[in-house]
Chains A and B, each alone.
Chain A
Amino acid sequence: MFSDYSMSELGAIFAMQGFAGLILFSVFVLMALGLAIIFGQMGVINMAHGEFMILGAYVTYLTSNLFAAWLPGVFGMYFFVAMILAFIASGALGLFIEWAMIRHLYKRPLDTLLATWGLSLILQQVYRSVFGAREVGVSIPDWMMGSLPVTDMIEVPINGIFVMVLATGISLAVYYMMFRSSWGLQVRAISQNRVMADAVGINTAWTDRLTFGIGCGVAGVAGSAFTMIGSTGPTAGQLYIVDTFLVVVFGGAASLLGTIASAFSISQAQSIMEFFLSGSMAKVLTLLVVVGILMIRPQGLFTLKLRK
């Protein structure tokens, strides 16, 4: 298939394809981080993860409308405000849900899964009642929608760079919080031995709530960023949920590093196969490889303590 093209064309295409793989990687990381924090540290499966993301997307939509109406002069900057608001909104909802629902269920992790699934249904219907069944169009500032011509052939999408920077930034922030802050120390202590952590005076209830809130907040930021590349509608969260779960499961759930490694391998595999095969076949093959590996190594790539 390559015989018709010059070397420079091929080089350019492979460079762009590599870049596409990196964008996909960043998207996966953004999607999965929030889930991995909550699951890895608290053992809670948040099935409403996609809906928290979409909340972030709707917040972005509202912010863009507000800026267009009141502050058209700085419309180009609204996206940063929107991401902060998305974090706050999703995080606050997360705190509330933890207080109202999750904290009663820590001893029954399977039940959190069902309860959060119920929550996701309710949120979907709320979005539908508030924003309508149709997708809303989020207008993105012009400077974010173009591409940077690197050479004649190579063009790099700006929103791709944006997603990559964001994914890196959030990963670093999460890493810092987890492993360099006293909150992170407490979270890790709790995930290792809840009773003992309680005994040494850690406020486990508050730490749990904060962890859940931060996980949801990160999901909100991801949703906000995805308005650049995807759709915003009541059920759009479900588009992401399968990929998200696969990334987390494949990575080994308990490990943030595992999540990132698995996002990298799945995204690269998919991106390379998509180039040589039809898109649908690439997806199926990627999934089959993931399943095959999970069959041999069901605990995922990186894991320590999920054996019972």
Chain B
Amino acid sequence: MTDRKIPKSLAGPSRRAFMAGSAAMTASLFAPKALFAQDYPTAQINTTGLAVTDDTVTIGILHSVTGTMAISETGSVQAEKLAIEQINAQGGILGRKIEYIQEDGASDWPTFAEKARKLLVNDKVASVMGCWTSASRKAVLPVFEQNNGMLYYPTFYEGLEESPNVIYTGQEATQQIIAGLNWVNETKGAKSFYLLGSDYIWPRTSNKIARKHIENFMDGCEVVGEDYYPLGHTQFNSVINKIRLKKPDVIYAIVVGGSNVAFYKQLKAAGIDMTKEAPIVLTISVTEDEIRGIGGENMEGAYACMKYFQSLDNDNNIAFVKAFKDMWGEDIVIGDVTQAAYLGPWLWKAAVEKAGSFDIDKVREAQIGVELETAPEGYVKVHENHHLWSKTRVGRAKLDGQYEVVFETADLVEPNPFPEGYQ
């Protein structure tokens, strides 16, 4: 049903092809098969001098644990460590235990670049799980391309990028946006939208795509306002007044960080009750993680559109949530990016085993088409553009800070980082 209004380029011609191939590959990847290190001599599986010994392989974790971004990146670090521990408990990769070197990007982009270089050049890590903001990814990208490293990047982001040295485990903008807009239009009859965001590349690009989609592909729908506020802005009364004046059906909000808290608290204080859906608030930037800071009572009734919610009801996710809480504490919450970060080590493991080698070039080649049936979000598959095929879901925030899933796309949505017709 969501395909109806998705332009051709997004629906994608290759879906049939991958459906056909998937069954055979799944069997070989996930059949329980003991891998012993002696079957894979180090000299053969590591021809480029990576940090692989006869019984260990070293990877890097590169996130901010200090500075303003520590708030967001902590969850990703936790998820990656959980995945590594689980993989090791299952016997590791090619019979080798994963060891990790954790570096602090300190919310500072030059530091990210410096640490990325250290991980690749000095430590010779076999892959890196890391980065969160677009700015940090842009800063490390040349380092990874020059030193031929492999980065697993967990955040939903603006697209417009397709590096051979990055696997994007979060959704790019079109995947996340279009299904949600169609849903709110079809089930809620929404016609007018007010676009709002923090002032940097991701919200701006996302709103650009949203605007193009609303104006060009949704009949009779219009954008009645578009506004951006600096990162860290804490006063939203003026824009709330503007919203009242325009009376949109939907407030499409991509506010991030500390501004988020201010925005939703002030929205509620101004008498806009999101449980009454007049207007509907639809966001793509508030995960369960952010609700902890905002407060469930201030977020109740808002809709979020992303690929994962902690409340997803499937066996993979129930096991994942339990393992996560066992490791990091009962009162922890898991957001979309945390789940995407959890996929990183697993996707890499699958690619290494498929390639039978840790060599970056071989892993890169093997990575395309890798499927993960054990993903908490459900089945995912790596597209040849290094992004993941994934479902998009809409959740409604509840008082307890969790989302109730109200919609999910019938099929996996194809990643399309350079969407034609949306530029």
A contact residues vs B (CB 8 Å cutoff): 5, 9, 13, 16-17, 19-20, 23-24, 27, 125, 128, 132-140, 145-147, 149, 153, 155, 157-160, 226, 228-236, 238-240, 270-271, 274-275, 278-280, 282-283
Contact = CB atoms under 8 A, between A and B. Distances in A.
A149 B273 CA distance: 13
Interface in B322-373: none
Interface of B: 65-68, 70-71, 74, 199, 226-230, 232-235, 237-242, 244-245, 257-258, 260-262, 265-266, 268-271, 289, 291-298, 401
Nearest to B73: A133
A16 B227 CA distance: 19
> Which of A145, A160, A270 is most buried by chain B, counting CB atoms within 10 A of its CB?
A145
B237 A134 contact: no
B293 A232 contact: yes
Contact of B70 (A128, A236, A282): A128
A240 to B, nearest CB: 7
Given A133-B74, A135-B258, A139-B295, A158 B232 contact: no
A11 B226 CA distance: 23
Given A228-B265, A230-B234, A279-B228, A235 B67 contact: yes
A16 B296 CA distance: 27
Contacts of B234: 226, 229-231, 239-240
B228 A231 contact: no
A231 B260 contact: yes
Contacts of A232: 261, 293
A283 B199 CA distance: 11
B191 to A, nearest CB: 16
B293 A279 contact: no
A118 B68 CA distance: 17
B112 to A, nearest CB: 17
B237 A160 contact: yes
B4 to A, nearest CB: 32
Q: Considering the complex of A and B, which 9 residue pairs feature the smallest CB-CB distances, nearest first?
A: A135-B293, A231-B261, A20-B237, A147-B271, A274-B238, A279-B229, A157-B269, A137-B295, A155-B271
A134 B71 contact: yes
Given A233-B71, A240-B234, A16 B241 contact: yes
A136 B292 contact: yes
Given A20-B237, A159-B269, A232-B293, 20 more contacts: A17-B241, A20-B240, A24-B237, A128-B70, A135-B292, A146-B271, A157-B271, A229-B269, A230-B265, A231-B234, A233-B71, A233-B258, A234-B70, A235-B68, A236-B258, A238-B68, A239-B232, A239-B258, A282-B238, A283-B229
Contacts of A136: 292-293
B71 A135 contact: yes
Nearest to B270: A157
Contact of B245 (A9, A155, A282): A9
Nearest to B204: A280
Contacts of A275: 238, 241-242
Contacts of B270: 147, 155, 157
B262 A147 contact: no
A281 to B, nearest CB: 8
Q: Interface on chain B toward A: helix, strand, loop, or mixed SS? A: helix
Nearest to A274: B238
A212 B385 CA distance: 59
Contacts of B232: 238-239
B378 to A, nearest CB: 27
Nearest to A277: B227
Given A23-B237, A27-B235, A133-B70, A230 B261 contact: yes
A26 to B, nearest CB: 11
A9 B242 CA distance: 12
A274 B74 CA distance: 34
Given A136-B293, A240-B234, A230 B258 contact: yes
A54 to B, nearest CB: 11
A182 B131 CA distance: 57
A135 B261 contact: yes
Contact of A279 (B66, B68, B238, B261): B238
A153 B269 CA distance: 15
A240 B197 CA distance: 20
A39 B233 CA distance: 25
Contacts of A16: 241, 244
A231 B68 CA distance: 12
B269 A137 contact: no
Contacts of A228: 265, 269
A52 B52 CA distance: 48
Contacts of B294: 137, 231
Contacts of A132: 74
A230 B401 CA distance: 18
B186 to A, nearest CB: 27
A240 B232 CA distance: 9
A112 B262 CA distance: 32
A234 B242 CA distance: 32
Contacts of B260: 231
A146 B269 contact: yes
Contacts of A134: 71, 74, 289, 292-293
A146 B241 CA distance: 16
Contacts of B228: 278-280
Given A134-B71, A137-B292, A229 B238 contact: no
Nearest to A24: B235
> Which of A160, A233, A280 is most buried by chain B, counting CB atoms within 10 A of its CB?
A280
Contacts of A226: 234
B238 A17 contact: yes
